Structure 1
Amino acid sequence: MASIVIVDGLDLASVRVFLSVVELGSVSKAARRSGMAQPSATARLQKLERQLGVALLDRGPSGSTVTPAGVRVAAACAALLEAAESLVDRADSLRDEQRHLPLAGTRHAIEHFLPRWVAATSLDEVRLHVTDTDTLQVTQAVRSGDAELGLADGPYAPIGLRSEILATEQLVVVVGSSHRWADQSRSVTVHELNAETLVLPRRGSGTRDVVEAALAGHESGVVGEHVEVDSLACARIAAINGEGVAFVPRCRVRQDLERGL
């Protein structure tokens, strides 16, 4: 128990002063380096000697010199300070990790939902590292630990991950203003859809999963001609340009509809 009491009572500042005396060969110089008065440095050194039960310095008229025992203790003192600094560095690193939040999301979720959610939440101490990708890659990033949080689109919750529905929205069929459906008010049938060229995001997209799940619910599927694009933005442009029928979240085409595109 005595050794525990000694360890608990050790003052790292006193250990640092002693190491400065070893390096500089003078208590007064060590005190100046440590930013304290010489009597305070001397008192710290004397307390350290009492705690360790070892004479660290020979004090004489011309100054103090390190004893042979002090020289041998110095190496352990240096190791103690190094371990303490390592502890503080590790704690700093852990605090940085706690403030850092790697997040993967689809571009649609990041652009249209994330800014509002961040603005409504106190994240002053958190640094977001955001990666945009498709729904498949979002779930893979969370499973692998590359992302702690994922924002994905799609009709189903990802298997094996905890999930929560944060927002719902409607996919709408989008065609260019020159398409024959542009002026009609009635709904189109699945048969009519499959007779058209469909503009679909590549596999891995949550939007594509929604479309295929909806068609499957009508005992159909993507059976007609279709083209694949890299993003919802590309699908929207392709539809406006008359290249086919696209499926786009209503919020992405609201302004187009207001402008009559």
Structure 2
Amino acid sequence: MNGVSLQGLRVFLAVVESGSVSGAGRALGISQPAVSGHLHSLEKRFGVALLDRDRPIAPTRAGEKLAGHARRVLAATRELEEEMVRQRAPGGTLAVGASTTPAETIVPGAVARLAAECPEVSPRVRVGDTEDTLAALLRREVEVALVGQEPEDARLEARFVEEDRLTAVVRTGDGKLPEVTVEELSRASFVLRERGSATRRAVERTLRAAGVEPKIAAEIGSNAAVAGAVAAGAGVGVLPERALPRSPGVEPLRVKGLGFTRPLVLVTERGRRLSPAASAFIEVCLNRDGR
């Protein structure tokens, strides 16, 4: 015995509501023979007359019962379809990893825009240095990571977000010269980020390329703490330019012929199928401010 089709129920209700086969056909955009075929199939399926063919056509007692069930079935079907659409849309908890600088400069705006565009997504942001963040990504503790260097691990792939410009900083009032040479800088003691930090690696790489082996006065685990130590006179620091407005007590130190830059990138596990929430987060990061 064949099952009942949803289209058959739609046709039956259209006949009941319009009172005619022709009216149902016009409402559904199908031919009268197609309408009659669906009605015949339903009556054959249930073994009872469902319609009184007098004009206007009216449901029999069995037809009234079927009409009530049909309305509930079709309403439930619409609800199911809407729920499946919601399931395709971004939603749920999203685990994001971020190293310190992008956590301070990119993540706040991205989270705000994500909340506006995808309110069903609830991001959980884990902040650490680049090394720890990429390790968490490989352990699948986070689904997407924002860090300050291209990953070397072939299991990971990166998308460029923006260039991050870094600048040497000294305690306010100590930058008496408008510009210092690399040789003068080489005599300074440095307050740098911890070894797992991409900022630290970018600074050391740039200094060593210029022939400077930095003397480390202190290693500190955040940009704000580096700025605080520099403001207290502990040495020369290197901070993202975008962090300077939030770093009282320090000022830029220009170094002739030397510039510090590194990329900020979005990293995902190569070949991993991303959730709609992760894809939405990546989209807002790559297209911030309409870019």
Interval of TM-score (by shorter of Structure 1 and Structure 2): 0.5 to 0.7
Looking at structure 2, the residues matched to 184 and 257 of structure 1 have their Cα atoms a distance apart, in angstroms, of 20
1:43 is aligned to none
Count of residue pairs brought into register by the alignment: 178
2:234 is aligned to 243
**Is 2:139 aligned against 1:144?**
yes
Contact 1:194 1:225 in 2 (8 A): no
2:203 is aligned to 211
Looking at structure 2, the residues matched to 203 and 103 of structure 1 have their Cα atoms a distance apart, in angstroms, of 22
Looking at structure 2, the residues matched to 207 and 259 of structure 1 have their Cα atoms a distance apart, in angstroms, of 18
**Is 2:182 aligned against 1:169?**
no
Looking at structure 1, the residues matched to 223 and 251 of structure 2 have their Cα atoms a distance apart, in angstroms, of 19
1:31 is aligned to none
Percent identity at matched positions? 22
Q: SS of 1:162's equivalent?
A: strand
1:72 is aligned to none
TM-score relative to the length of structure 2: 0.52
Q: Deviations over 1:43-88 (max 9, x none)?
A: xxxx9xxxxxxxxxxxxxxxxxxxxxxxxxxxxxxxxxxxxxxxxx
**Quick one: structure 1 residues 255 and 148, their matched pair in 2 at CA, closer, same or farther if it must change by over 3 Å?**
closer
TM-score relative to the length of structure 1: 0.57
**Quick one: structure 1 residues 216 and 258, their matched pair in 2 at CA, closer, same or farther if it must change by over 3 Å?**
closer
Unaligned runs of 5+ in 2: 5-44, 46-83, 253-291
Q: How far does residue 237 in structure 1 lie from its aligned partner after superposition? A: 0.5
Tell me the amino acid that sits aligned with residue 99 of structure 1: G
Q: How far does residue 98 in structure 1 lie from its aligned partner after superposition? A: 5.6
**Quick one: structure 1 residues 138 and 158, their matched pair in 2 at CA, closer, same or farther if it must change by over 3 Å?**
farther
**Quick one: structure 1 residues 258 and 137, their matched pair in 2 at CA, closer, same or farther if it must change by over 3 Å?**
closer
2:181 is aligned to 188
**Is 2:146 aligned against 1:159?**
no
Q: How far does residue 240 in structure 1 lie from its aligned partner after superposition? A: 0.7
Looking at structure 2, the residues matched to 176 and 101 of structure 1 have their Cα atoms a distance apart, in angstroms, of 40
Q: How far does residue 130 in structure 1 lie from its aligned partner after superposition? A: 0.9
Q: Deviations over 1:133-189 (max 9, x none)?
A: 1111111111111111001113x344321111212221111111243xx12111331
Q: How far does residue 258 in structure 1 lie from its aligned partner after superposition? A: 10
Q: How far does residue 247 in structure 1 lie from its aligned partner after superposition? A: 0.4
Unaligned runs of 5+ in 1: 10-46, 48-90
2:222 is aligned to 231
